[in-house]
Amino acid sequence: MCNIPQLLEVGTKIGATLPNFRGTIVVGGEHDKSKNIFGFKQLVTSQPPDFQLPKISPNDLAMLPYSSGTTGVPKGVKLSHNNCAVNLEQCVHPDIVNHIPTSDTSQETVLSVLPFFHIYGFNGILNVVMMYGMHMITIPKFTPETYIECVVKYKPTILFVVPSLLLFLASHPAVTPEHLASIREVTCGAAPATKSLIDKFKQKVQREDITIRQGYGMTETSPCTLYTRFAIPEAKLGSTGQLVRGTQARVVSLTTGDNLPPHQSGELYVKGPQVMLGYLKNEEATKETVDSEGWLHTGDVAYYDEDGYFYIVDRTKELIKVKGNQVSLPKNQVRSAKMRRVIHRFLNHHGRVQSSIFNAVTIRLPTFFLKSCLSLLDRNKYLERVGKKEDQNLVTNLKSFLCSCFQVAPYKKLAGGVKFLETIPRNPAGKVLRNELKVFGTNPKK
């Protein structure tokens, strides 16, 4: 099934490689009817009167989204009708949302650029929009100009974002408080947004009547397990929320496997009716993720407070050993993010690049050293001005400059060096693809 005309040819070619392929269904737009391509409207109107829908049960397979694949190969996640329907009900419970019901005089307007093949986009956004009868504005591909244009033109009341998009809204000089005047609710997911980022966005908006909420989940949990309520206290900003109804959680010690009390970090386990049926044709991975008692091991390091608010700290796969010492890659990434202002100052002082926008991420190399990958979006313009030799000098000087500015233990220093990229590779949901970044450490030509 295809609803993007530009992808019809590619989709048809892919379908032709499948053994039981019978054609492509197109939603909207013109198409060539001579190539096993069928219009959705045509199929509905030509349905025979005796057509019978197949009988299904709540536990039958409903959809097969794929996991993010940020640290490895994506896996097919089997979600049942019950998984998706229950999680939708959990996320729209009155103690969580405060959406205005659609009527003849009112209708929420939602703006989203997140892909619907991602579970956040499908069950966390699209199904919520249809359930409430909201006005939905979608953007096929994010560009700053298009996004700002849609905000101004359609005046959305609700935004669904990821942290990188929230940072864009909070930091980009072209985004003004007037542009955001219609927005009354922002929901951020796919990765945790820090309190400082939320505060920065609130400073940009310059209003107190806007609600900024976070959710937490996985493809394997349909997706939501945690959600901040619409009346979240100021002190809890930065939390990924409290458990949605019908969901249990444990924070387990990484060394002993014991349950941990509040304010102690360990791996987050969750359990509930939204937990997947399993991975497609991968029983081994299913057993590694969901234990015999039904607890899903999220792979995320978290802690909770006395009020039941959870905070995501790390990924267990991103806790690495460097010379026998444990290093948290996300914390090093946060430190790299804090370097932005320092790097701006360094570059501007040396007359290099003006108005650069940085992203930073730390990866593990096979040599167990750390490398900071900094994305310099206007690097090509910089090279035109100063040449490649000067570019290498910049890397050397920048590395020394960072070491002098940030006092960390020797094993946490960026012994792998600094690499400038055109962009930090991310999946469509905005998550950093660390497995792709590792190529730069193993193959210098790339």
The pLDDT confidence band at residue 263, using thresholds 50, 70 and 90, is very high
Say if residue 174's pLDDT is above 70.
Answer: yes
Q: Which amino acid is at 247?
A: T
Most confident of 12-21, 261-270, 307-316: 261-270
* 440 or 230, higher pLDDT: 230
* 113 or 71, higher pLDDT: 113
Average pLDDT score, the chain: 80
Contact 47, 35 (CB under 8 A): no
The pLDDT confidence band at residue 439, using thresholds 50, 70 and 90, is low
| Tokens matching residue 19 | 């053994």
Q: What pLDDT does residue 368 have?
A: 40
Residues 6 or more apart in contact with residue 389 via CB below 8 angstroms: none
Say if residue 85's pLDDT is above 90.
Answer: yes
Say if residue 317's pLDDT is above 70.
Answer: no
Say if residue 272's pLDDT is above 60.
Answer: yes
What's the mean pLDDT in 291-320? 87
The pLDDT confidence band at residue 390, using thresholds 50, 70 and 90, is low
> pLDDT > 70: what percent of the chain?
69
Q: pLDDT tens digit string along 274-294? A: 999 999 999 999 999 999 999
| Tokens matching residue 208 | 């107190």
> pLDDT > 90: what percent of the chain?
44
Q: What pLDDT does residue 429 have?
A: 61
Say if residue 157's pLDDT is above 90.
Answer: yes
Say if residue 236's pLDDT is above 80.
Answer: yes
Rg (CA), the chain: 24
Most confident of 187-201, 317-331, 338-352, 374-388: 187-201
Say if residue 155's pLDDT is above 50.
Answer: yes
Q: What pLDDT does residue 261 have?
A: 97
Give me the residue spans of the domains in the chain: 2-46, 62-315, 333-441
Instruction: Quote the CA–CA distance of 136 and 180 in Å, as a whole number.
Output: 17
* 406 or 308, higher pLDDT: 308
pTM attached to this predicted model: 0.72
| Tokens matching residue 349 | 């002082």
Q: What pLDDT does residue 384 have?
A: 55
What's the mean pLDDT in 409-431? 65
* Strand pairing report for 224-227 and 158-161: unpaired
Say if residue 378's pLDDT is above 50.
Answer: no
Q: Per CATH, which fold does 333-441 belong to?
A: GMP Synthetase; Chain A, domain 3 (3.30.300)
Look at the alpha carbons of 173, 175, 181, 184 in this order and tell me if their dihedral is positive or negative.
negative
Q: Per CATH, which fold does 62-315 belong to?
A: Rossmann fold (3.40.50)
Q: What are phi and psi of 362, to 5 degrees?
A: -110, 135
Say if residue 49's pLDDT is above 50.
Answer: yes
Say if residue 252's pLDDT is above 60.
Answer: yes
Q: What pLDDT does residue 259 have?
A: 97
Per-position DSSP letters for 37-101, written without gaps between them: EEEHHHHHHT--TT--PPP--TTSEEE--B---SSS---BEEEEHHHHHHHHHHHT-TTT--PPP
What one-character DSSP code corresponds to residue 432?
B
- List of E strands, 222-322: 224-227, 242-243, 248-252, 266-271, 278-279, 296-304, 310-315, 319-322
| CA-based nearest residue to 39, from 49, 28, 50, 23 | 28
Instruction: Quote the CA–CA distance of 369 and 104 in Å, as a whole number.
Output: 61
